[in-house]
Amino acid sequence: MVQGAEAIAPASSPAAQGMPTDPERLYELVAALDQNMFDVYNAHDWTGLMAWFADDLEFYHDKGGLLSHQQGTTGFTNQFANNKDIHRDLVPGSLELYPISG
């Protein structure tokens, strides 16, 4: 795991400073960021979760159609309020990374 990965947050993401070019380091970074986001989700911290998304977020949900950042916030708030035990974990061995050249 990337040293200090538990402290990685959207505002301080190393991605803003350039991605690692070494495939192993890139995988470690993506895995650490993924875990950080799951930790926020599992804490039911909708404010922290929404910090991962830009204010001009446009998300297309296959059942609900186009959602804005505000609609996403409302959705996560409701989801956490109505599903006290909701939890996400990455299935071990399921993370795959395919770097794109350039």
DSSP string, 24-85: HHHHHHHHHHHHHHHHHHHTT-HHHHHTTS-TT-EEEETTTEEEEHHHHHHHHHHHHHH-TT
Least confident of 2-6, 24-28, 57-61, 76-80: 2-6
Q: Indicate the pLDDT class of residue 80, thresholds 50, 70 and 90.
A: very high
> What's the confidence (pLDDT) of residue 88?
92
What is the mean pLDDT of the segment spanning 76-86? 92
Q: 3-class DSSP state for residue 101?
A: coil
Between 43 and 23, the higher pLDDT residue: 43
Domain boundaries, the chain: 14-82
CA–CA distances in Å: residue 13 to residues 18, 64, 78, 79, 85: 9, 30, 27, 26, 28
User: Is-above-0.85 flag for pTM?
Assistant: no
